[in-house]
Structure 1
Amino acid sequence: MAASILQRGLCPLQTFTKCVDYRSIARRCLLSSAYTDPAVWEQRPRDAQDLGQLASLMDRTYARKFPVSSLVIARFVDNLSSKEEVDQAQYYLFKFRHSPNCWYLRDWTIHSWIRHCLKYGARDKALYTLKNKVQFGMFPDDFTFNLLIDSFIKDKDFRGACSVVEEVMLQESFERISTQIMSLYALSKYLATKPELSWQEERNVGASLMLAGLKQENSVGFSARLLGLAFIGKVELSRGIHAVFHEMPLIWTSGYLGRALAVMDAVCDFRDVKLSEEVLDHVEKILQDLSVNADGQNVTDTPLEEEDELETQKLPEYINRFKELKERLVSQDRIDSRSLESLVSALTQQMLAACENADIAEYQQTVSVWEAELQQLIQRERETKEKNQKSI
């Protein structure tokens, strides 16, 4: 899937390069209060339950080695009212995930869990269960991802926001334009702090930039792809292709630096597309660092495989090709003096508000669908109880 997306990403399309009033960006660069307002969610008919009784029911059920229903765990999460109860819910989410009914954790339960974590100051719990999604079954939808990313951004915790974006990348959930913009916003803000990245972080940030950038056919998208591919290429040349695609939604074929240069080449042939000068400088530094570090040789104790050795030998060619392409970009006026952070802020100002309206409308419909499914489960539970009573 990632391979086909990557190929499509190099196709020409129109792009965003319009000038923006940067004074207005400071006023509107995050999700609006209408988007994050929990009213639609909290105004649902509430099935009030006693958490103590629900916990006791689940404990007895597990003790008898019977499965707990998705309706019971949903009720437990929906009735949380404090941070302490959020901590307790984390335990039961773990227990449910390791039960025979593990595949039936409902989407609305995941959404409810994230909302309660944000409401009661337990965002760390939300992130922990998200990072350990296999153990907790946390696979949120894009709207829920947006709420969590926005929460970190508003607190200027850009590293935390990027941790959520990495999960969006791993789950390949960049379908909503709003999620793409929020993710690129978080990534660009984090990189603007000039963090010292480990090679794993370079790979994860690179993959996030690339996959989110592939969805944006504009200067932001192409700049993000270029930087993302350069980060991944750096990991490939220093640690081998297996370090790149291990547990990642990336293609297994070597040559990520070559793909980065292909982005530059494509921009040379497109109208109304420019690359960030800051990004080009960053890519140039990556190539220089690889050249200085023993010509890009492996930094691990494990010998490089033949395909990795062949890729390493291409480094001088990549460096020369980069210089040629940069000169072409300069001659064609295809370099934007703005940083990636500025480009993303401008795109956010231009597009996010319109994306929000569509997201909110879809969310309201989704909540209605969830409520209908919940009522069906309640009715099924009622019929099962009546049937059991008759059989006694």
Structure 2
Amino acid sequence: MAASILQRFLLPVRRACVPQSLIGGFKLLNSATVLIRIIFKYVCFVDSITCKEEVHQAEYYLYKFRHSPNCWYLRDWTMHSWFRQCLKYGARDKALYTLKNKVQFGMFPDEFTFNLLIDSYLKDKDYKGACAVVEEVMLQETFDLPTTQILSLYALSKYLTTKPGLSWQEQRSMGTALMLAGLKQENSTGLNAQVLGHALIGKVEMTRGIHAVFHKMPLIWTPGYFSRSLAVMERVCSDAGDLRLSKEVLDTVQEMLQDLSSPTTSEAGEENTTENQTDESIDEEDELEMAKLPLYLAKFKDLSEQLQARGKVESAGLEALVSRLAQETLPACEEADIAEYRRRVQEWEAERLQLIRREEEMREKTKQEQEARKAASDAQ
């Protein structure tokens, strides 16, 4: 559904023009600088890819470019063109590989490009792959466009319905993505995502410690993620509008709290905390937070009863809520995104023309300097 809506995003893209100012700069360099020539070859090559084999070859040049002094010249249009070429020639695995390995390839695409990647996976019903892209969106903290928020929630909810066996790292990543995307949506769908997201992070906090939660993640290091999940429930309880929480989400959170409150899970959590943390003060904070589990469970049950009594419990699951939101809002969102995309293409063209002018100025300046040196030499 969401995939078919976003098919119109695949607009004809103007070929990402090569920064012409690089050409003059490269010609002025020592001919022995082989690496610079390789870099220039990459810049040209991305835009002239014609088959899947050339995509694999371009990956090498991208790596060389990243590890060169000229990596700053990797323009936004080149990154966009790279991912479009990967999708066009069936090399989506290369797109995801270069996206995830940022140290080696330095790919930081914009949200429109992210949406194309997510949509590509959704069309093939590869929800795990779509969530892998959403994880990169989360790490890059680029949930600014409503389209990105909705597509991310759609991918996450679809993947969760498959009941995957998630590692604690995957629970942390999915919880963070749900929470961050949900914070951008002031509706029932967003609040459900926040409740579930905070709870997933809280589960990791209880079993692995707070340090495992925020390490290399865009999360605060203040303990109490289950408390934040309950705070969202309180907000819905006190809301006078039509905000509701899904029974499916509430059942999932209740199951987490009950499992964590069981003696077996508590002992395992203490062992994990001891293994993964050495700072005594942090261990004490974790123990204090774990001691609040009975209070969290009691408060959850109380809030659940209040939600039920006030008609604030939604029978539809998170997947259904996200699908409904996508049907209602995506058409308008994609129109705005397409207009912004066209504006970006015009900016890229203006930048290209500016680079051409700079190249011409550099050529003229170099020519004048050479003529001056030659005249001085002849005079001697």
Q: Which moved more, 1:370-379 or 1:223-232?
A: 370-379
What amino acid is the match of 1:248? M
How many pairs does the alignment contain? 356
Partner of 1:8: none
Query: What is the CA-CA distance between 1:72 and the residue it aligns to?
Result: 5.9
Partner of 2:363: 385
Partner of 1:21: none
Partner of 1:310: 288
| 2:121 is equivalent to residue 152 of structure 1 | yes
Distance in 1 (CA, whole Å) between partners of 2:132 and 2:188 is 24
Work out the percentage of aligned pairs sharing the same amino acid: 59
Distance in 2 (CA, whole Å) between partners of 1:128 and 1:32 is 23
Q: Which moved more, 1:81-90 or 1:297-306?
A: 297-306
Distance in 2 (CA, whole Å) between partners of 1:343 and 1:163 is 22
Q: Deviations over 1:3-53 (max 9, x none)?
A: xxxxxxxxxxxxxxxxxxxxxxx5x6643332123x1x14x5967x9xxxx
User: Alignment partner for residue 88 of structure 1, among 44, 52, 57?
Assistant: 57
Partner of 1:217: 186
Partner of 1:358: 336
Partner of 2:5: 31
What amino acid is the match of 2:10? T
User: Alignment partner for residue 228 of structure 2, among 259, 263, 268?
Assistant: 259
What amino acid is the match of 1:362? E
Q: Which moved more, 1:328-337 or 1:131-140?
A: 131-140
Partner of 1:276: 246
Distance in 2 (CA, whole Å) between partners of 1:232 and 1:45 is 40
- State the superposition RMSD in angstroms: 2.5
Instruction: Compute the TM-score of the two structures, normalised by the length of structure 2.
Output: 0.88
| 2:295 is equivalent to residue 295 of structure 1 | no
Flag structure 2 segments of 5+ consecutive residues without an equivalent.
371-380
Distance in 1 (CA, whole Å) between partners of 2:365 and 2:216 is 47
What amino acid is the match of 2:260? L
Distance in 1 (CA, whole Å) between partners of 2:184 and 2:312 is 20
| 2:178 is equivalent to residue 234 of structure 1 | no
User: Alignment partner for residue 153 of structure 2, among 176, 181, 184?
Assistant: 184
Partner of 1:172: 141
Partner of 1:330: 308
Q: Deviations over 1:222-259 (max 9, x none)?
A: 00000000000000000000100001000110000110
Instruction: Compute the TM-score of the two structures, normalised by the length of structure 1.
Output: 0.85
- Secondary structure of 1:156's counterpart equals coil
Contact 2:6 2:119 in 1 (8 A): no
* CA separation of 1:226 and 1:61: change in aligned 2, threshold 3 A: farther
What amino acid is the match of 1:314? K
Query: What is the CA-CA distance between 1:77 and the residue it aligns to?
Result: 1.2
The answer to which structure has the higher helix fraction is 2
Flag structure 1 segments of 5+ consecutive residues without an equivalent.
1-25
Distance in 2 (CA, whole Å) between partners of 1:86 and 1:376 is 29
Distance in 1 (CA, whole Å) between partners of 2:130 and 2:197 is 17
Contact 1:166 1:208 in 2 (8 A): yes
Distance in 1 (CA, whole Å) between partners of 2:30 and 2:258 is 61
- Secondary structure of 2:185's counterpart equals coil
